[in-house]
Amino acid sequence: MLLFASLFFINSTVGSTLYPILIDQPFDYVEQLFLATAFFITFATKAPMLPFHIWLPEAHVEAPTVGSVILAALLLKLGGYGFLRFSLPIFIEAQRALVCFVYVLSVVGILYASLTTIRQIDMKRIIAYSSVAHMNLAVLGLYSFTQQGIDGAIYLMLGHGVVSGALFICVGVLYDRHHTRLLRYYSGLVTVMPIFACLFFVFTLANMGFPGTVNFVGEFLIYAGVFDRNAFIATMAAPAIVLSAVYSI
């Protein structure tokens, strides 16, 4: 609704919603600030960022495997795409005013989602909360305003779409056979499903950003870009590297 209202306002003031026209439109700074905030809340909800993330774990738990795969692999990326395509190019001056707020929100979201993932016992919730952490990291890279950070965010979103979707398929395979997603029931699974266990382990390594996987490339570039822009923020977000290994292993 915020995005819808913003587009109505843009159409009434500019007379068009064509992208080439909006890119060159010199919006007033106050207008930029309000529009950028509305766009940010919209795409942050879709991404999802803290505190707009609550819908995602519930949606994943209730959805069938196909729904979870589509949600993780495609729909979450619309938030990052919105930031990259619309918010940053059209409202660049206002985005620079919001950047400190976005940094703090992203770092808190990364650490909160990583710590919350550790205490989950439902495998779908584990993957869902790890998705929140990864998407917050991608947004952090986009708002670094550096080539490495933006490239890293794109790599991470592409890699996360493949890896997270694969992990949800793996959980769906287990649920179809045993009708539970609770971790405590799957000790010793490698003895009866060795090939499946190997695949699940490979995707888990990719999810934690193990070197040699696409997530590692994305995370490395994001941290490099953010460190160039703000070393303190990069240092505050760095514990997520360790926490991702903790909840994955």
Instruction: Give tens-digit pLDDT for 176-191.
Output: 888 888 888 888 888 9
Q: What stretches of the chain adopt beta strand conformation (E)?
A: none
Cα distance between residue 56 and residue 74, in whole Å? 13
Q: What is the mean pLDDT of each run of 10 residues along the chain (249 residues)?
A: 90 85 83 88 88 83 86 87 88 84 92 91 89 91 91 92 91 89 86 91 91 90 92 91 90
Position 137 in a domain? yes
Position 87 in a domain? no
Position 118 in a domain? yes
* pTM of full prediction above 0.85: yes
Cα distance between residue 83 and residue 36, in whole Å? 10
Q: What pLDDT is recorded for position 97?
A: 84
Cα distance between residue 89 and residue 93, in whole Å? 9
Q: What pLDDT is recorded for position 203?
A: 93
Position 25 in a domain? no
Number of domains in the chain: 1
Residue 26: asked if its preceding bond is cis (omega within 30°), the reply is: no
Residue numbers of the domain that contains 138: 52-81+97-248
**CA distance to 56, 116, 194, 215, per residue, from 131 (Å):** 9, 12, 26, 12
Cα distance between residue 190 and residue 105, in whole Å? 39
Position 110 in a domain? yes
**DSSP-assigned states of every residue in 71-99:** IIIIITHHHHHHIIIIIHHHTHHHHHHHH
Position 36 in a domain? no
Position 175 in a domain? yes
Q: What pLDDT is recorded for position 150?
A: 92
**Residue type for position 180:** T
Cα 23-137-147 angle, rounded to 5 deg: 50
Position 219 in a domain? yes
Cα distance between residue 209 and residue 215, in whole Å? 5
